Every structure is written in C-alpha cells, then in structure tokens.
A and B are shown apart, each in its own frame.
Chain A
Amino acid sequence: MQIPPLSERREMTCDVLVIGGGTAGTMAALTAAQHDVQVLLLEKANVRHSGALAMGMDGVNNAVIPGKASPEDYVADITTANDGIVNQRTVYQTATRGFAMVQRLERYGVKFEKDEHNEYAVRKVHRSGSYVLPMPEGKDVKKVLYRQLRARNVRARVTIENRVMPVRVLTVDGRAVGAVGFDTRTGEFVTISAGAVILAAGAAGRLGLPASGYLYGTYENPTNAGDGYAMAYHAGAELSGIECFQVNPLIKDYNGPACAYVANPFGGYQVNAEGNRFVDCDYWSGQMMAEVKAELDSARGPIYLKLSHLPDATITEIEGILHTTERPTRGTFHAGRGHDYRERDIEMHISEIGLCSGHSASGVWIDEHAATTVPGLYAAGDMALVPHNYMIGAFVFGEIAGEHASVFARTASRPALPEDQISAAHELIYRPLSNPDGPPQAQVEFKLRRFVNDYMQPPKTERYLSLGLESFERMRGDIARMGATTPHELMRCAEVTFIRDCAEMAARASLARTESRWGLYHQRADLPASDDERWFCHLNLRKDATGAMEMLTRPVAPYIVDVPGFTRPDGIPNEPVGTELAGAWA
C-alpha cells in the first residue's frame, strides 16, 4: 500500500471513546450508553471474539457472593497477597460491586454455576478465600455481551468499529481529547475527537517470548500487546507496579492455563515429580510463583497437574469442561501427543513474563473511579492497576469507567485536535511502508522479546536489567528500520513499538525498586531482602516534560479494611470507608 497523505483521514467524533472491546471495554460501552452519551467502541479485532474472553472463560476467580464471603475478607486477602501495597479503595469496589455485576451479567444471559437449590456454587480453591464461581457455559460470554451491544436501544448509542487500531491518545493541555489510529484492513488513517477516553486494551501479554519460540503462543490473547500501557504512557499518565510482573504456572508448551481450579473440586491437584503437593502459600501470589519456580528448579521437578488417580467418569467430566471453554484446543494439544489424563499427568512449567493487573498488579494508575492521572482519560480491565482484578474486576471497573467518563464527557469542551501529535502518530503508523526491504516485524519482534526473556525473567539483578535496558534502547534502531507492505503488517509493526515501550518500562521499574517484593514477581537476586523502610510504597512512572521516563513513588493510601495478620510498616491508621463506597454492598 501507499502512505496516505497526513490530511487524508477519516474523522470521527463521539462523547465517550472506548478503546478495546473486550471484557472491560464492552461493559464500559454498555454503561456509557445507559448514561445517554454517544459512544464509539474501537476494537482492533472483532468485538464478538476479542480480548481475554475471545473464546470464553470457564469461571470467575473473584466473585464475592453474599453468604459465601464478605468484601472485607476479599480486600484483606488481596492486600496480603500483594504484600500490603494496594489502594484498598479500588479493590473494595471490585469486592462490593462484584455481586451486582454477577446479577447484571445474568440478566444479559451469562450463566454462573448454581446448585439444585439455585444457590451459587462458589468454590474454595486456595486455602484462603471462597471466591471462585464457575461459568458452565462460559464459552458464550462474548456472545452474550455482543447480543447486548447489538440490542436496539444500545445500537442507537454505541457505534462499533472493528479492525480499527488506535496508536496514541491525543491530549490538549494535559487532557485526553481523542485518539489517532488506522484501519488495519484498508490502512485508512483515522482520528477521533472525544469528550472522554476509556482505555481498555488488555494486558501486555506479548512481552516475554514463550519457551516454544512461537510469537503468538502466549498465555494472554496475543492481540493484547501492551497497546494500552504504551498509549497511557505517551499520553502522560502514570503507570504503577510495572516491576510486579505477571508469571503463571501453565501447561508446558501449550502455554495455556492448567485450570487447577477446575480440576480441584473433582480431586485433581498440582504435584511435584514425587507425587506430593508442594505449595505452602495459601493464596495466589508472587510467593506462590516463587515456590513453583523453586520446585521446577529442584531435583523434585518437573511439576504436574495430577488427574490420573481419578476414576474414568470423573476425568471425562473434567475433560468436558477443559476441552470446551476458555482454551478449547487443549484437548487437541494432548491428543496430538497421544496423551490421556487417565494415564499421564499434565506437565507444567512457568510462563514467560507479562504485565497484567488482572493476574498480578502492574498497570495504569487509577483511582476508585477508574480515573487515570490524565483528566478525561480512564482505564479499566487487565491494563488498569487494581491488583488481581480478574474478570469480575474488569467488568466492575468497565462499568465504573463508563459511568464516570460519561459524566466527564457531558461538560467537556472539544478543542481542535493537536496536529503535531497526529503527525507523529502518522509517522509511527506508516513509517514501515517507507522501508519495504527493512527487517520484517516477526524477526524484529522475536529478537526484542528474546532480550526480554534473557534479561527480565525473574530472578532479576541490576546487571541483567541494565543489559536489558541497553538492548531495548538499541532496538529503537531496528524498529525504525522495520519494513512492511500491507495494513496488516503495519498493525503488527505498531504493536512491536508497544512491546518495546513495555519492555523499557519493565526494566526501568525493576531497576528502580531496589529491594525484593511479591515473591517471584519482583525477586531481585542481588537485593534479596524487602526494605519496608524505603519501599512500602507504590513505584509509579510517567513521561516527563522532556519525553524521558521518570520514576516517582506514591504512599500506600490509608487502609479502609483491617488486614488480619498484617501490620502496616508505616503505622498509618485506617480511614473510614465512607458512604459512597459502602453503599454498593447494601
């Protein structure tokens, strides 16, 4: 294709722009529509099958259901799992609004597991906390949401643009006023003027390179390349906890979830090669990952999801769930190797790194109203910092972002879009067309992500992190020379820039936090101890006025919920919850 002139563009306008049509983005759009504003939903794939739920989800990890758990338990558990460094007000929203969200989703047609007496079949998977609620027809979650988006009353308010990918959020005087991107099928240049912008672009899931070497064989949907992290950063927003990587125990090679929590109630569990359970940590956390890694590295490795001891009928039942939802090809994977759960346990490994607040705690800094530090810019879902927020949290914060962005947009002015930023984005998008013979995206991306593995995979040290940072700086040159000839390739090339930005953030944040914390997530082999005196705080980063990456710290906000067994090292007393947050549970 030819580079379109800067002036040749599709200009769109809306009140609320939602970037990403996955879990959080869909809910944000549906909610904004209820607030009577015009919504534009941009999705670089197709909303019907996009985001982390592309093929569904077999259950929710964090449903606080009345009678099964309390919001206070949940907030305390998440605080403990994150070594105390959380803004409890954000976590509290997920805890208190999660049940109403479950009910909202049920009205739309999502099916949560209930027993014969119509009670929610909440499972206790880890030793602490009863928050897991299976979704027996979870493969249809996106179908349900899409049906809602296409309903007549919503259709009048929400315009969906599939295969349009923004690359930058536009700002005027430090406020978000729109975005700029392109159509990944036609290559058309697109600008959007908006009253408020919601980023819901998912995890930075294509950061580390899977051990298989396959670029797209990631745990997260590989379309989630850190677009939102990069866009928030370049818009001037603060990001936080980037050094708290996501690492997961997964099925080796397949690199998908082992779903121990599916197998658990049926009697399946994770063991070492000696057949013993080995995880001493009571909850999902970096500490748990550290134990998994230690076991893999020991003479007791490898580790397995053990099902072979179960009766045939039980295994058939487990297969019925595991091979139809979330990652249905896992049955194909095992069958291809001639492996049967009845005869052979499932070998597991530990994944490449990623950034994701859905599973750990790295993302764009937001408050309990999903507001970033840039006025008019909101964030929700895996990319927004609410620790261990998972699917329910993505829905809850999508809803919150939809509400608050609508209110903001209603009175927001509509300044002319900044041409200098549009021009820079144009250069970013179309530059590879000027180098048709430059290195192709696949090779550049492979090299970049191999450096991520070489230097970022924990345990981390200053020397390795510094070499990583040097590599990521050097890769700027490779990226500038990268070549493409089609709109599809331009999409992949733009994603490589996002991946590089995330890699640089990961290196700089990991270097800055000069201690170890969160088990494997930020294990510094050269600084193995935690340093509460200096580091019981959030580490944030942002783009400063000169364009450089600046590090800053923020204190941990006063707690609103007691955390049994944990004493704040800084001794700051609790605050009352306040009526606004407390209201949701009542």
Chain B
Amino acid sequence: MAQATNRVDVPVSVDQSKCIDGCTLCVDVCPLDSLAIDPETNKAYMHVDECWYCGPCAARCPVDAVTVNIPYLLR
C-alpha cells in the first residue's frame, strides 16, 4: 500500500567527507539506536527522528564528523 512520506528535520548530522568508511562507533553508542550506516555510502546517518540530543555520537566520533543539533520542535 502506498504510504505518505513526510519530510522531517532531523537533529543529528554527519559530515560525510569526514566520516570513516567502516567505522560504526556513533551507531554503536546511540541510546535510541537512531543512527545507521547507509549501505550505499557506508557512512553514518540518522535513520529515525528519535533523539534525546544527549551527545555520545558526537563525543565518541574519532574524527569529529557528528553534529548534534536540538530537535526542531524544541529549537
């Protein structure tokens, strides 16, 4: 069945030019399991808008590629 696809502004962004192909640290540590590896690029991205803006993803990234913003509704 066809589904509506509403675009959402997600709080976590990953600098694709810095993100290391093969590293999964941010995906591993996210308490809400909201990050995933894009199978096409092998880089991390936010796959669901479920975020406590807590920050381990950014703090643990070995190359400072992850930025945590405040979810739009709170911003």
Contact = CB atoms under 8 A, between A and B. Distances in A.
Contact of A46 (B31, B55, B69, B74): B31
Given A184-B33, A223-B32, A488-B33, A54 B56 contact: yes
Contacts of A118: none
A453 to B, nearest CB: 15
A491 B34 CA distance: 12
B50 A216 contact: yes
B74 A332 contact: no
Q: Which secondary structure dominates where chain B touches chain A?
A: loop
B74 A217 contact: yes
B54 A329 contact: yes
Interface in A478-501: 488, 491-492
B32 to A, nearest CB: 6
Contact of A49 (B31, B50, B53, B70): B31
Given A216-B52, A329-B54, A45 B74 contact: no
A48 B73 contact: no
Given A49-B56, A215-B50, A221-B52, A333 B31 contact: no
A328 interface: yes
B32 A55 contact: no
Contacts of B68: 329, 332
Nearest to A222: B52
Contact of B73 (A49, A213, A329, A337): A213
Interface residues of B, number: 24
Interface in A428-485: 437
A54 B1 contact: no
A367 interface: no
A221 B55 CA distance: 12
A253 interface: yes
Nearest to A251: B74
Interface residues of A, number: 35
B9 to A, nearest CB: 11
B51 interface: yes
B29 interface: yes
B47 to A, nearest CB: 8
A55 B55 contact: yes
Contacts of A50: 31
Contact of B74 (A49, A55, A139, A333): A333
A538 interface: no
A214 B9 CA distance: 12
A212 B33 CA distance: 22
B70 A329 contact: yes
B62 to A, nearest CB: 15
Interface string B48-72: 1011111110011000000011110
B7 interface: no
A414 interface: no
Given A212-B73, A212-B74, A216-B32, A437 B1 contact: yes
Nearest to B51: A216
A492 B29 CA distance: 18
B32 A222 contact: yes
A336 interface: yes
A327 B70 contact: no
A123 interface: no
B31 A221 contact: yes
A360 interface: no
A46 B54 contact: no
A335 to B, nearest CB: 10
A333 B53 CA distance: 10
A568 interface: no
B68 to A, nearest CB: 6
B52 A46 contact: no
A437 B67 CA distance: 34
A255 interface: yes
Nearest to A492: B50
Contacts of A488: 33, 48
B28 interface: yes
Given A49-B56, A54-B54, A163 B33 contact: yes
A45 B70 contact: no
Q: Which of B32, B50, B51, B52 has the most CB of A within 10 A?
A: B52
Contacts of B73: 212-214, 217
Interface in A205-233: 212-218, 221-223
Interface string A484-527: 00001001100000000000000000000000000000000000
Interface of B: 1, 28-33, 48, 50-56, 59-60, 68-71, 73-75
Given A221-B54, A223-B52, A336-B70, 10 more contacts: A45-B31, A45-B32, A49-B31, A49-B56, A212-B71, A214-B73, A216-B32, A222-B52, A255-B74, A329-B54
Ranked 5 nearest A-B pairs via Cβ: A49-B56, A45-B31, A214-B73, A329-B53, A55-B54
27 contacts: A45-B33, A46-B30, A48-B28, A55-B56, A55-B59, A185-B33, A214-B73, A215-B50, A216-B32, A216-B51, A217-B73, A218-B52, A221-B31, A221-B52, A221-B54, A222-B50, A223-B32, A254-B74, A255-B74, A328-B55, A328-B59, A329-B55, A329-B68, A333-B70, A333-B74, A337-B75, A437-B1
